[in-house]
C-alpha cells in the first residue's frame, strides 16, 4: 500500500508500509465520530464556497497533526486554485514528481492517470538520494491571483519536512478535464512512530466523508457549465453559430453551424474538435489553447482578448465567398461564461458566427423613389448593388450593360447626395430599418 523506493509501474497496490512496528511511545492518532460528523457538515453544507474546503482541511490538520492537501489538476498536470489553493497544489505535485517509476515516469503522473480512485497510497519511502537536491529544486508556482490567498502556503513552506514525513495520498475525483488528489502528510510523525493501520483507517474515513461534498461540487459545476452554454447560444440565435473551448472542442452549435464553416472551406469537424483550414484563424485560436501556453499564462487572458464579460467587439473576422458567390463574414469572439475561471475544461470560450448579407426588402425601392426622386431603374440598382457589393454581379442580375449601370449610379449620387458606394449602402440599410 506504499511506494517502494523505486516503484515498478505494476506494483503499486501490492506495496506495504515499509516501517517498523510502532514502538510503545508512538503518538496517538484519533479522528472521532464527532470529528467525522463535523467534517461532513462542513463539506456538504456550502460545498461551492472556497472557504468551506479550507475549513475542512484546517480541521483535519488540527486533529491529526498533519499537512492536508486537496488539490485539483487539469489534463496537463497544471494545478488550479480550487479547494486548497494553487500554491499547496504545486508543492504536492513537486513532492510526488521526485518519486520515479520504471520507464522514466514519476508517481505524480501515475496518480493523475492510472492510480485507483480512493486507494490510499503511501509515500514514506522517498529516494534518499534526493536529499542533496532539495536546495536546487525550482520554486513552487505562486498563488493564482484569481484564486485568492488561502492562508495555507506558510504551512507548506518547509518542503524538506514534507518530503521526509510519512503520508498517504489518493485520487478522489477524476474526469475528462480534471483530477483531484487528497493527501495527508503526517509531519508530526516519523516512520517509526506512526501507527500505519490507524493512519490508513482514518484516511479512508476522511476520504469517505469528503466524497459527497466533492460529488455535489462537480455536479453543480456541470450544471453551471451547461447553463452558461445555453445562455451563450440564446444570445446568438440568428444565423450559423458554433461555440468552442480554447482547444477547439465543440461545446454547442446551431443546426447549420458546422456545415456553414465546412461550406466556406474555413474549418472541419474531426471527432469533437474543430480543425481550422484558415491559417489566421488557427493562429488566433492558439492564443487561447492551454496546451500551447506557458504555466505563467494559465490564469491570464491573452493580450488580444477582451476583459471578462466583454462581447461587443469581434477579435477575429474575415470575409469569404461560398460556392454560390455570395459574400459571408466569419467572426470569432471570446465570450464570458459562468465557469470562465474554473477548470471544467480549458477556460476560454469562443463563439464563431457566420454572417450573411441581410436581405433588403423591395419596399426600399419605393422609398428611394418617393424621398429621393430616383427612377424605378435607379432605385432597383441602388438596392441590388447594396446587397451584392459588386457592380459586376449587379449588372448580371439586372441584365443591363455596365455603361447603363454607371449612368444610373451617377444620377443616384446626384439625387441622394452620396459620393461613394459605401455611403449609398449605409443609406439603403438605414431605410431598411423601416421595414
What average pLDDT score do residues 299-307 get? Answer: 38
Whether residue 409 has pLDDT greater than 90: yes
Is the fold of 33-221 the same as that of 363-432?
A: no
Please count the other Cβ atoms lying within 10 Å of the Cβ belonging to residue 399: 7
- The per-residue pLDDT for range 217-254, each reduced to its tens digit, is 888 888 877 777 777 777 666 678 888 888 888 888 88
CATH of domain 33-221: 3.30.450
| Of the candidates 166, 207, 197, 212, the residue with the CA atom closest to the CA atom of residue 47 | 212
Q: Give dist(CA 331, CA 354) in Å, integer.
A: 7
- The per-residue pLDDT for range 36-76, each reduced to its tens digit, is 677 767 766 666 666 778 888 888 888 888 899 999 998 88
Q: Give dist(CA 233, CA 255) in Å, integer.
A: 12
pLDDT band per the 50, 70, 90 thresholds, residue 126: very low
Which grid coordinates are listed for 49?
464556497
Beta-carbon contacts of 255 under 8 Å, excluding residues fewer than 6 positions away, are none
Q: Which residue has the cell 461555440?
A: 243
Residue 194 phi/psi, 5° resolution?
A: -80, 140
Q: Which residue has the cell 492510472?
A: 114
Mean pLDDT (the chain, rounded): 76
What average pLDDT score do residues 132-152 get? Answer: 40
Please count the other Cβ atoms lying within 10 Å of the Cβ belonging to residue 180: 24
pLDDT greater at residue 298 or residue 98: 98
pLDDT band per the 50, 70, 90 thresholds, residue 20: very low
The whole-number pLDDT of residue 173 equals: 93
pLDDT greater at residue 132 or residue 66: 66
The whole-number pLDDT of residue 29 equals: 67
Q: Give dist(CA 244, CA 270) in Å, integer.
A: 13
Q: Give dist(CA 142, CA 164) in Å, integer.
A: 23
Q: Is 66 exposed, middle or buried (0-12, 13-18, 19+ CB in 10 A)?
A: buried
Considering the segment(s) 363-432 as one domain, its CATH architecture is: Orthogonal Bundle (1.10)
- The per-residue pLDDT for range 359-394, each reduced to its tens digit, is 788 999 999 999 999 999 999 999 999 888 788 889
Burial 291-319 (b: 16+ CB within 10 A, else e): eebeeeebbebbeebbeeeeeeebbbeee
- The per-residue pLDDT for range 319-360, each reduced to its tens digit, is 887 776 777 888 888 887 655 444 344 457 888 988 877 778
What average pLDDT score do residues 66-90 get? Answer: 90
- The per-residue pLDDT for range 144-202, each reduced to its tens digit, is 334 444 445 444 447 788 888 888 999 999 988 899 999 999 888 888 888 888 888 88
Please count the other Cβ atoms lying within 10 Å of the Cβ belonging to residue 325: 10
The whole-number pLDDT of residue 12 equals: 43
Considering the segment(s) 236-356 as one domain, its CATH architecture is: 2-Layer Sandwich (3.30)
What average pLDDT score do residues 97-126 get? Answer: 81
Q: Give dist(CA 75, CA 177) in Å, integer.
A: 6
CA atoms within 13 A on the CB side of 175: 15
pLDDT greater at residue 414 or residue 123: 414
Beta-carbon contacts of 235 under 8 Å, excluding residues fewer than 6 positions away, are 311
Residue 143 DSSP code: P
From 107-116, 170-179, 215-224, 282-291, the region with the lowest mean pLDDT: 282-291
Task: Please report, for the chain, the start and end positions of each structural domain, with discontinuous segments joined by +.
Answer: 33-221, 236-356, 363-432
What average pLDDT score do residues 292-301 get? Answer: 46
Query: Percent of the chain at pLDDT above 70?
Result: 71
Question: Using an 8 Å Cβ cutoff, are 49 and 70 in contact?
Answer: no
Amino acid at each position: 500500500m506504499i511506494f517502494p523506493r523505486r516503484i515498478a509501474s505494476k506494483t503499486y497496490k501490492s506495496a506495504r508500509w515499509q516501517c517498523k512496528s510502532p514502538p510503545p511511545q508512538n503518538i496517538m492518532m484519533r479522528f472521532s465520530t464527532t470529528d467525522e460528523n463535523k467534517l461532513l457538515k462542513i463539506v456538504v453544507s456550502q460545498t461551492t464556497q472556497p472557504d468551506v474546503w479550507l475549513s475542512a482541511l484546517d480541521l483535519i490538520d488540527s486533529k491529526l497533526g498533519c499537512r492536508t492537501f486537496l488539490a485539483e489538476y487539469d489534463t496537463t498536470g497544471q494545478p488550479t486554485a480550487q479547494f486548497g489553493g494553487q500554491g499547496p497544489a504545486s508543492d504536492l505535485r513537486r513532492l510526488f514528481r521526485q518519486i520515479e517509476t520504471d520507464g522514466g515516469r514519476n508517481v505524480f503522473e501515475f496518480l493523475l492517470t492510472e492510480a485507483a480512485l480512493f486507494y490510499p497510497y503511501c509515500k514514506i519511502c522517498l529516494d534518499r538520494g534526493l536529499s542533496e537536491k532539495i536546495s536546487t529544486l525550482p520554486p513552487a508556482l505562486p498563488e493564482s491571483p484569481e484564486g485568492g490567498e488561502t492562508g495555507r502556503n506558510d504551512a507548506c513552506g518547509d518542503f524538506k519536512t514534507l518530503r521526509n514525513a510519512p503520508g498517504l495520498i489518493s485520487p478522489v475525483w477524476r474526469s475528462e478535464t480534471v483530477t483531484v488528489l487528497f493527501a495527508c502528510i503526517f509531519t508530526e510523525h516519523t516512520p517509526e512512530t506512526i501507527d500505519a493501520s490507524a493512519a490508513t483507517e482514518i484516511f479512508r474515513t476522511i476520504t469517505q466523508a469528503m466524497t459527497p461534498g466533492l460529488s455535489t461540487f462537480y455536479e453543480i459545476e456541470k450544471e453551471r457549465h451547461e447553463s452558461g452554454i445555453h445562455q451563450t447560444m440564446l444570445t446568438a440565435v440568428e444565423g450559423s453559430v458554433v461555440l468552442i473551448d480554447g482547444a477547439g472542442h465543440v461545446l454547442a452549435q446551431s443546426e447549420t453551424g458546422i456545415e456553414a464553416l465546412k461550406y466556406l472551406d474555413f474549418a472541419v469537424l474531426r471527432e469533437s474538435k474543430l480543425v481550422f483550414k484558415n491559417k489566421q484563424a488557427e493562429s488566433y485560436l492558439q492564443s487561447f489553447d492551454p496546451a500551447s501556453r506557458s504555466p505563467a499564462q494559465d490564469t491570464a487572458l491573452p493580450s488580444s482578448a477582451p476583459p471578462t464579460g466583454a462581447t461587443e467587439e469581434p477579435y477575429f473576422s474575415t470575409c469569404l465567398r461560398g460556392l454560390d458567390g455570395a459574400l459571408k463574414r466569419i467572426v470569432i469572439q471570446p465570450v464570458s461564461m459562468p465557469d470562465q475561471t474554473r477548470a471544467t475544461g480549458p477556460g476560454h470560450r469562443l463563439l464563431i458566427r457566420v454572417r450573411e448579407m441581410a436581405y433588403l426588402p423591395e419596399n426600399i425601392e419605393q422609398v428611394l423613389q418617393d424621398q429621393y426622386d430616383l427612377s424605378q431603374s435607379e432605385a432597383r440598382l441602388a438596392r441590388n448593388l447594396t446587397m451584392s457589393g459588386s457592380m459586376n454581379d449587379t449588372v448580371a442580375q439586372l441584365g443591363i450593360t455596365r455603361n447603363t449601370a454607371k449612368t444610373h449610379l451617377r444620377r443616384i449620387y446626384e439625387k441622394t447626395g452620396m459620393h461613394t458606394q459605401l455611403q449609398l449602402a449605409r443609406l439603403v440599410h438605414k431605410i431598411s430599418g423601416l421595414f
